[in-house]
Amino acid sequence: MISVLAQERVLGAALGSILTGVLVFEQRKSIYKSISGNQFVTQNQMREPVLGKKKSNLGFAHLWNKAVDQTLGPVIESLSSRGW
C-alpha cells in the first residue's frame, strides 16, 4: 500500500502541475490578445521612426555605440588578452 506521505506528495505534485498549467494558459491567452490587438496598425505608423527623424536616430545610435565602446573597452581588452 502507498503510505500517506507518498499520497500527499502525489496530490501536491498533481495540484501544482494543474495550477502551473492554468497559469501558463492564461498568460498565453493574454499575450495572444495583446498581439492581435496590435494587428491593425497602418503602414504610416509602421514606417515612422520611434524617436522622430531618421537622421536623429542615426546620431543617437552612433552616440550609443561610442558610449558602449568607451565603457566596455577595457573589459573587452582584458578578455581578449586572456584568449577569450
Among 9, 24, 40, the domain boundary falls at 40
HSE-up of residue 43 (Cα within 13 Å, Cβ side): 0
- Total structural domains within the chain: 2
Q: Encode pLDDT of 60-83 as tens digits.
A: 888 888 888 888 888 888 888 887
- Same domain for 83 and 57: yes
Q: Please give the torsion angle defined by the CA atoms of residues 25, 30, 36 and 40, in that order, rounded to the nearest 10 degrees.
A: 180
- Same domain for 47 and 20: no
Q: What is the pTM of this model?
A: 0.40
What pLDDT score was predicted for residue 12? Answer: 93
Share of the chain above pLDDT 70, in %: 71
What is the extent of the structural domain holding 57? 43-84
